[in-house]
Amino acid sequence: MGVAVGALVATVVGFAPGAVADDVQSKQWYLGPMQAEQMWKVSTGKGVKVAVIDSGVKADTPSLKGQVLVDETPKSVAYGATTDYSGHGTTMAELIAGTGAGGGLKGLAPGAKVVPYRIELDDLKGGAEEKKKTPEPEDAIRAAADTDAQIISMSFGAQAPIPKEKEAIEYAASKGKLLIAAVGNDGRRSGDTIGYPAAYQYVVGIGAADKSLTVSNFSSAGNYVDLSAPGQGFPGWCDAFFRSYCDDVNGTSSAAAIASGAAALIWSAHPDWTVNQVTRSLIDTAGRTWAKNDPSKYAGYGFVRPRLVLENSNYNAGPAHVDPLAGENRGDLLAKSGTSSTSPSPSASTPSQAPEKGSTGSTSAAGSSAESSKDDNTLWVVLGAVAAVVVVGGGSVAVARARRAR
């Protein structure tokens, strides 16, 4: 089975790692508004491991040297884990835990570590033999669930649910893993087409936002969007040669990676928290202009803001053994399994893999608010609405929110 990674159209630009740290990282526009430098004084994600299930992770890019725990990928699914034909998985790893060294991308959680997994995608080069050796998504998810990685980041998708994959997701959830996935990039074609695994229960589905914090118009919308994060307007790898970054590698894939980094920051600062508490803190502090109990089909519970958790040393994340999404998940698998926590380790149908169509435009939802930082004049602008009027193909379409019926 082949699945699609969530890459979008990218424009190749001629800046090479090793010479342009300022140029590359200055294009990571969200680091300023999210007050990354301030957050890193409290937490860098140290001690947290993130399983990146994707197109593989090239472990020796300047930004990832020392960040990829190659030996911790279970042998049963280790084939090709550090081979990346598209650059997609490597970009996700850098957005999560890149150090920024050598002019590379700076991860939101540069103290975290990545455990790489390559799954069967349609970019495989070795024909039937390579396809046979490369793990299916469900095999990688199950394998990751049996490790001490706390977060499983998934920036791939298919249009239909797969029973074995669904079972693997539930198994990982029962093990106390935080499952984060890109919702897909079909917003322009079909506003309610959200891919799997994001649409499974127990997975936190992430939509994308642009520099103005407007939901990107390529970001899939519907009943399975849980949160949104920056996913448009910054560089990434886009081929197998890793000679230079490409500009504007847009997609919900990047948003899912950044949300995974946000979760890593929080879990590192609160290593005794359960997955329920980390998830609840992300939901409760998300930026939104709508009621928390009435999520937007575009941005879910809002835009991730881990700063609000980190800046409050007495932050109350609520009960450890109550799933904040239990109503949507049809129960709490963590509680049913008897698993109490997953704490950081002491040391730190088959679609093609053709890139999904992207755009530099955006879908603007009505309503806005701005929060002034207490530290500086940066504004964290939140745009979105529960019932919004959006422009699609030149026409005005009223979009009503109908929350999950999973």
Give the H or E element holding residue 275. Answer: helix 275-284
Q: From the candidates 43, 54, 226, 296, which is the catalytic residue?
A: 54
Q: Which two tokens stand for residue 66?
A: 């020392």
Q: Quote the strand ranges of 345-401, DSSP E.
A: 368-372, 379-383, 388-392, 395-399
For residue 75, how many other CB atoms are within 10 A of its CB? 8
CA 34 to chain centre: 16
Q: Is 197 in contact with 169 (CB distance < 8 Å)?
A: yes
- Does the annotation count 54 as an active-site position? yes
Q: From the candidates 63, 88, 216, 219, which is the catalytic residue?
A: 88
How far is Cα 159 from Cα 162, in angstroms, rounded to an integer? 10
CA distances to 2, 81, 195 from 350, rounded to whole Å, are 6, 22, 12
- Does the annotation count 63 as an active-site position? no
Give the H or E element holding residue 54. Answer: strand 49-54
How far is Cα 375 from Cα 356, in angstroms, rounded to an integer? 39
Q: From the candidates 63, 228, 253, 254, which is the catalytic residue?
A: 253
CA 296 to chain centre: 18
Residues annotated as part of the active site: 54, 88, 253
